[in-house]
Amino acid sequence: MKKLIPNILTAVLFLLIQATMGSQSWFYFQGQVVSEDSMLPIANYPVFIESSDDMQIMTMTDNNGFYYDSVYVEAEEFDHARVGVLNCADEFVFVEFDPPQEFNNADFSICYYNQECQAFFTYYYDGQDEMKVHFLDASMGSHSGALWDFGDGETSNDDNPVHTYSEFGYYEVGLIIEDTVTGCWSEHKDIVYLGDSLGCQAGFTYSGNPVNANEIQFTDLSMGNIDYWFWDFGDGDTSEEQDPSHVFPQNGIYEVCLFVSSQMMTCSDMYCMEIEISDSTTCFADFTYSLDTLNNTPYTYVFTDESSDETENWYWDFGDGSFSEDQNPVHVFDSSGTYQVCLFSSANPLGGDCSGFICKEISTPDYFNFGGHAFIDGFPINIEEDDSSNMATAYLYRRISNQWRYMDKRDFWKFGYYWFVRKPVGEYLLRLDLTPQSVDYQNYAPSYYQHQTDWRYATTFVLENNDQFAVDVNLKELFDMDAGIGGISGKLLSGLSCDGNLNLSGRIVKLYLEDDYVAFSKTNNLQEFEFSSLPNGLYSLQAEVSGKSSSVGFVQIDDNQLFSDGNLLEINCDAYVGVQENLAEKSLSINKVYPVPADDYINISIISSKRQNIQIELIDALGRNFETYKMNIESGQTSVKLNISKADRGLMLYRVLSDEAKVLARGKFIHGR
C-alpha cells in the first residue's frame, strides 16, 4: 500500500486540501486607530482579535495607525468574533462581528494620551475680519504651559488664542508646550498666509544646481489671477518667464525681485529676496524609496530623504490623498497601483528661501497567498488529524537585488501544511526546520524547497498568483553514523562584510563525515555549537546561514584527538546570488547536477518537453563567462558532461538558454574538492 501512495500523491493532496479548506477558512481583520481629540493616527498601538472559541491574537498598528491581520480557523466554529483596543481609561472598546465575514473592518476613535507630549495646532480664518486668525491647541499628552509665536513679533500664552495681523503675507507660527512634572517639551510650526482675495500676492522660491552653484532655478509661488511676470536678478539681467533659470556671473549677495500683475493692471505686487551665491548654494530635493518586505502590512514603503544638507523642512505628497512633513516617512498605500510621489524640500519656507521639488512614479506590487507540505520519505508529516509528533518552522526569504533577505516565518504541524498570506510578487527561498521536540529531529536535516540542505543549490520559486499551494519541501534524511566517544565544538564569527550586525544565535552548523551529511547543530546565544558521540574519522564543518556563505573547517577525530574545540567558522554577508532575470516559459528543467563539489567535469541532467536547440553558459562568481556550449537536445532526459578543468575553483553559475536567448533554467555548483 505504501508504494501506491506516491503514485497518487497529487490526488491525495488535492482531496486533503479540499477537506481541510472545506472546514477551514481565512478571516481578515483591518482598520485604523485614531485619537478622538486630534483625529491623528495612533502608531504602534496593540489591537486584540478574539473569537467565540477562546482564540485571541494581538497585532500592532503601523506608523499611520493602520492594522491588518488574518486567522485560519474552523469555519463552522467561528460564529462570533470581536476586535478591541484599550482607551486612556484602561477600558476595552470592542467592535462585534456576529458572524464574522471573510473581510472585517473595525475603525476606532479613542481617547489616547501618549507618555510624552506632542505639540500640534490647527487654525481657521475669521469670517468677518480677514486679518484675524483663530488658533486651536490640538497637542497630545499632558502639558502645563504653552507659548505661541505668531511670526510677526507677537506672542501669547493663551490655550486657544485669536490673533489679528497688521499686514498681508506669509507667517511662520510656532507652538511650544512643556510639562513641568515630566519635563516633556515639544514644538510644532506651520505657515499661515493672509492675502487680499481680490488682489495679487507675489512670491517665489529657488533651488541650486549641484553641478554649477551659480545656476539658480526660480519657481513662482505668486497667488491671484496673474498673467505677467517680471524678474530682476540684481546683476543687470531680467526675465519675463514664469519659472526662469539664471546663471549669476560670480559669487556674492544679489537682491532678486519679482513683479507680477494681471491683465489691465487690475492688481499687481512685488516681492524681493536677498540670495547669497556661493559654492555651497546647492539646494535640491531628492529621495529614494523601498518596499518594506519585512512588514506584515502590504504596500508599506520606506522613503529616505536625499535632499541637500541644508534642508530643514519636508513636505511629501504620496499621490493617494495622504501627506507627511517627516524627513523620512513610512507610508502605507491602500491598494496596488501606480502613484506619483512628490517631495518639496526647503531650507526655510518662510519667505521662500532655497528649496527643491521632485516627483517619482511608484508602482506597487501585487500580493498573494501560498503554501505547501513538509514531506518525510514521500509522505506529509502528521498525516493524521490528531498527529502532532513532528512540528516545524517555515522560514521565508525574498530576493532583493542580488541578496536573499529574511522576510517571515511560521510554525505549523497540522497535516504538515504551512502557509503565508499577502506576500509581494517576487522570487523566494523557503527552508523548513523540524523543532527540537519533534520525533524525527535528529534524523532529518533542515531542508529547502524542493530537496536540498544548502541554500546555494536550492530551487527558488516565483510568487505570481494565488494558485501556488504546493510549494512542498522534502526533508532530507541524515546518513546513519556509528556512535563513538569523540566530540567537536566551536563558534561562528561574523565576517567584515557583515558589519557586526548579523545575529548568529540559532544558526545551523552542518557536520560531514567524509562526504556524508551525518548531523547538524544549532548555535546557542553565545554563537557556539557542539557535536558529541562521534566515531573516529575525517570531518568537515560548515554553517548554513541562508543567503550567506561560510568558511569550511576540517577536523580529524582519532585515538590521538578525541575532542576538538575552538573551531571557528566565519560568515560572509557578501554571498553572490546571481543576476536577476525573468524565467521564460518552462519547456525545460534540471533534474540533477553532479558531482557536488565538482572536479574536472560537471554533469547536468536535463529534462525537456520538446526537441530544441539550447546553449549552456558557465559563469564564475565574479560574473565572468567561462564557456558557452551550444547543442541540440531531444525530448525527454539528456545528460550533458562539461569540461571545467580550466575554470577557477569556487562557486560557479550555469544558465540554460533557448534559441531566443530566453533563460530556461539556472543554478549553482561548487568547483573544486
Is 380's pLDDT higher than 50?
A: yes
**SS3 of 427, please?**
strand
Out of 110, 143, 176, a domain closes at 110
Reported as a single tens digit per residue, the pLDDT across 596-641 is 778 888 988 887 767 888 999 888 766 677 888 989 888 777 889 9
Query: Does residue 173 lie within any of the structural domains?
Result: yes
Reported as a single tens digit per residue, the pLDDT across 88-147 is 765 778 999 888 888 889 999 988 755 467 777 777 666 567 788 888 887 766 777 889
Here the CATH number for the domain that contains residue 595 is 2.60.40.2550
Query: Does residue 639 lie within any of the structural domains?
Result: yes
What is the maximal distance between C-alpha atoms in the chain?
106
Alpha-carbon torsion angle 542, 546, 548, 549, nearest 10 = 30
The mean pLDDT of the chain is 81
The grid cell for 210 is 549641484
Are 171 and 215 part of one and the same domain?
no
**SS3 of 254, please?**
strand
Out of 363, 393, 417, a domain closes at 363
Are 94 and 13 part of one and the same domain?
yes
Cis peptide bond upstream of 595, omega within 30: yes
**Residues paired with residue 609 on neighbouring β-strands, in sequence order:** none
Judge whether 65 and 412 are in contact, CB under 8 Å.
Answer: no
Reported as a single tens digit per residue, the pLDDT across 30-76 is 899 988 877 788 877 788 888 765 566 777 887 778 888 877 666 66
Are 465 and 388 part of one and the same domain?
yes
Q: Please count the structural domains in the chain.
A: 7
- What value does the CA radius of gyration of the chain take, rounded to a whole number of Å? 33
pLDDT bin (cut points 50, 70, 90) of residue 350 is very low
Are 512 and 431 part of one and the same domain?
no
Here the CATH number for the domain that contains residue 220 is 2.60.40.10
Query: Does residue 187 lie within any of the structural domains?
Result: yes
Are 374 and 359 part of one and the same domain?
no
Query: Does residue 460 lie within any of the structural domains?
Result: yes
Cell 538558454 maps to which residue? 657
Q: What is the pLDDT of residue 13?
A: 38
Is 419's pLDDT higher than 80?
A: yes
Query: Does residue 480 lie within any of the structural domains?
Result: no
What are the CA-CA distances from residue 636 to residues 587, 633, 658 (Å)? Answer: 11, 9, 16
Query: Does residue 583 lie within any of the structural domains?
Result: no
Query: Does residue 615 lie within any of the structural domains?
Result: yes
Length of the chain: 673
pLDDT bin (cut points 50, 70, 90) of residue 500 is low
Supply the range of the domain harboring residue 345: 287-363
Are 81 and 129 part of one and the same domain?
no
Reported as a single tens digit per residue, the pLDDT across 176-208 is 888 777 667 788 887 777 765 445 778 887 877
Higher pLDDT pick, 374 / 137: 374
**SS3 of 668, please?**
strand
Here the CATH number for the domain that contains residue 71 is 2.60.40.1120
Here the CATH number for the domain that contains residue 380 is 2.60.40
- Residue 665 to residue 608: CA distance in whole angstroms: 11
pTM for this structure?
0.47
Query: Does residue 478 lie within any of the structural domains?
Result: no
Type and span of the H or E element at 21: helix 9-23
Judge whether 523 and 509 are in contact, CB under 8 Å.
Answer: yes
Are 421 and 453 part of one and the same domain?
yes
Are 375 and 312 part of one and the same domain?
no
Out of 231, 256, 277, a domain closes at 277
Cell 548579523 maps to which residue? 502
Are 374 and 462 part of one and the same domain?
yes
- Residue 583 to residue 654: CA distance in whole angstroms: 14
What are the CA-CA distances from residue 408 to residues 64, 296, 396, 411, 454 (Å)? Answer: 22, 8, 5, 11, 19
What are the residues whose beta carbons fall under 8 Å from the beta carbon of 565, sequence distance 6 or more?
Answer: 487, 488, 489, 490
Are 638 and 558 part of one and the same domain?
no
**Strand ranges for 504-649 from DSSP E:** 508-513, 516-522, 528-534, 537-544, 549-550, 552-557, 563-572, 588-594, 601-608, 612-620, 625-633, 636-643
Are 378 and 359 part of one and the same domain?
no
What are the residues whose beta carbons fall under 8 Å from the beta carbon of 15, sequence distance 6 or more?
Answer: none
- Residue 534 to residue 564: CA distance in whole angstroms: 11
Are 19 and 84 part of one and the same domain?
yes
Cis peptide bond upstream of 99, omega within 30: yes
